[in-house]
Structure 1
């Protein structure tokens, strides 16, 4: 996506993981910045992605996205997947987190893909909201996000993810399923087709998308902690459009139902004292 912000990012890892919880090795938190007595521990992230150019597109491109996470001094390290929205926890316990979150959804520029000629362009969407995550086991994280769009779309969209997490010295490995859900406003913005668009494009027919599940998939990541401050993450995943999105002429005629993502991220953590 030239320099675009994708929705979600993820890839099928080649690693295999044990299925029996009783045989799982003990989970060890990765190297982290030492907590200070006052202030915050801030992690800045920069990530490069190779994925579809925009929501519903079939062409691929390279993009870069920023990331940010904040935790209070003394709070234990918590796992963060590369495709999480960025935010911080207002409630933070060993097994439960809750707080504000935000994402940026890529614009749709029809000049990036000639098949979308005649389709309405969409601005970047800012999606603030809230997240909640919990750990039913030390090595299992379940996370949900609910956000509301502004500018690019004005609908509600949510993500649910689960991750199996293992730590091997300085290496952290994760893998787990993903799904995204949108209301009718969100779905119709990206997967609906108006009469005017159908007439101008010529490849598609009118279509009004209803709310529901947009995609299901799988994501995996491997992170290496070089020092207590620096880490590198390689990741990727696969998402398959379902429901109203999969039935849309946007996916059938202009784009694709299968979305692959690979990426490389770098993170720097530091303490911000008062």
Structure 2
């Protein structure tokens, strides 16, 4: 997703939030703080790539006025909590999965198409230690036909020191056989079209093991900046695939910088939608 498209998305979200308090509704209007963010990253052009490039993602958070900036990680999918308590959050989530094609590297010509897509599903956060230790699971499925499931598991330890918030924690990525074949499979026909790659029947299972860390700085109650880094290592069939062995890398690094702006809004949310 290009930076211009992401910026347009953020402008649209901000406009919708600003007008939400003015629209008549039968639901009881509820005061909320809306946080919109834009994160720019530099990382692999697709999972397993040896070539790197820039990309960007938006973030969105809605909270009560008496709450500070949410404790979260930049690699969380774009999510909104429909059910929330002091220990648990549950709701829809979506993220963009990058594709792989000959436009990234001409040597991929002839391989089966691995297109980009939106992955959508549900997330759940469980705070083992409130405001300190969070575990998270995201279950998503690609919106293109014939896609597959992805499960991301993470844990983050947070520490607030003055205006700074530090976070660090492990990451695990799991996929089903359908998604594994899209990302790392090489069919017999594709191997015949491009002899650089040997046929490979990728299976589902554990795909990545990693570690992520971030540092947030609150310039004010409205503005926050974030520095982010992540390392992943491909395992299982993702590492064994001829795609990775010939034109990829098992080690994946991502660095990012984000800016978040928060503003008050009267959102027409039914009472109890975000209980806490």
Query: TM-score, normalising length from structure 1?
Result: 0.83
Q: How does 1:1-274 map to 2 (within 5 A)?
A: 38-72=30-64, 77-138=69-130, 139-151=132-144, 154-274=147-267
> Is the 1:126–1:152 Cα contact (8 Å) retained in structure 2?
no
Name structure 2 gaps, 5 residues minimum.
Answer: 6-20, 22-28, 268-276
Alignment deviations for residues 161-208 of structure 1 (CA, whole Å, 9 cap, x no partner) = 001110011100001100110000011001000122212222111111
Q: What is the CA-CA distance between 1:103 and the residue it aligns to?
A: 0.7
Please identify, of 145-154 and 202-211, the stretch whose mean Cα deviation from structure 2 is larger.
145-154
| Equivalent-residue separation in structure 2 for 1:77 and 1:231 (angstroms) | 9
Poorly superposed stretches of 4+, deviation over 6 Å: none
| Equivalent-residue separation in structure 1 for 2:41 and 2:238 (angstroms) | 23
Name structure 1 gaps, 5 residues minimum.
Answer: 6-35
> Is the 2:112–2:186 Cα contact (8 Å) retained in structure 1?
no
Query: TM-score, normalising length from structure 2?
Result: 0.82
RMSD, aligned α-carbons: 2.3
Please identify, of 143-152 and 216-225, the stretch whose mean Cα deviation from structure 2 is larger.
143-152
| Equivalent-residue separation in structure 2 for 1:216 and 1:74 (angstroms) | 36
Q: What is the CA-CA distance between 1:117 and the residue it aligns to?
A: 2.6
Q: What is the CA-CA distance between 1:77 and the residue it aligns to?
A: 5.0
Secondary structure in structure 1 of the residue aligned to 2:153 = strand
Q: What is the CA-CA distance between 1:210 and the residue it aligns to?
A: 0.8
| Equivalent-residue separation in structure 1 for 2:183 and 2:73 (angstroms) | 25
Q: Check 1:152–1:250 CA distance in 2 against 1; reply closer, same or farther (3 A cut).
A: farther
| Equivalent-residue separation in structure 2 for 1:264 and 1:235 (angstroms) | 6
Q: Check 1:265–1:153 CA distance in 2 against 1; reply closer, same or farther (3 A cut).
A: farther
| Equivalent-residue separation in structure 1 for 2:178 and 2:122 (angstroms) | 19
Secondary structure in structure 1 of the residue aligned to 2:159 = strand
| Equivalent-residue separation in structure 2 for 1:242 and 1:111 (angstroms) | 26
Q: What is the CA-CA distance between 1:75 and the residue it aligns to?
A: 5.9
Secondary structure in structure 2 of the residue aligned to 1:223 = strand
